[in-house]
Amino acid sequence: MMILSISGVVLLGIIVFIFFRKDGLKGSHAVICALFGFYLASTAIAPSIKAGGASLASLLGGIKI
C-alpha cells in the first residue's frame, strides 16, 4: 500500500507541475491545494477517501490491455 501512495503522490505532483507550467496554475493555488489536502487528511472523511483511492487503483490494476 505504501508503494501505491508514493506513486500517487508522484503522479499528482507531476499533474500539478504540468498545470503550473502549461495552464497558468499559480504557485499560491498549488500551495492552497496542498494545504487543503493536509487538512482533509486529518478529517473523519479521510478513511473513505483512502478506501476509494485503493478501490480505484485495484480497478485500474485489473485492466488487461
**Span 34-50, average pLDDT:** 80
Phi, psi angles (nearest 5°) of residue 25 = -65, 125
> What is the spatial distance between Cα 22 and Cα 44, in angstroms, rounded to a whole number?
35
Q: How does pLDDT run across 44-62, given as a tens digit for each residue?
A: 888 888 888 888 888 888 8
Contact of 12 with 53, CB cutoff 8 Å: no
Cα 30 from chain centre: 12
Output the average pLDDT for the chain.
78
pTM for the model:
0.55
Contact of 16 with 30, CB cutoff 8 Å: yes
Q: C-alpha grid cell for residue 47?
A: 478513511
Q: Quick one: pLDDT band at residue 5, thresholds 50, 70, 90?
A: low
**Span 4-20, average pLDDT:** 74
The pLDDT assigned to 4 comes to 54
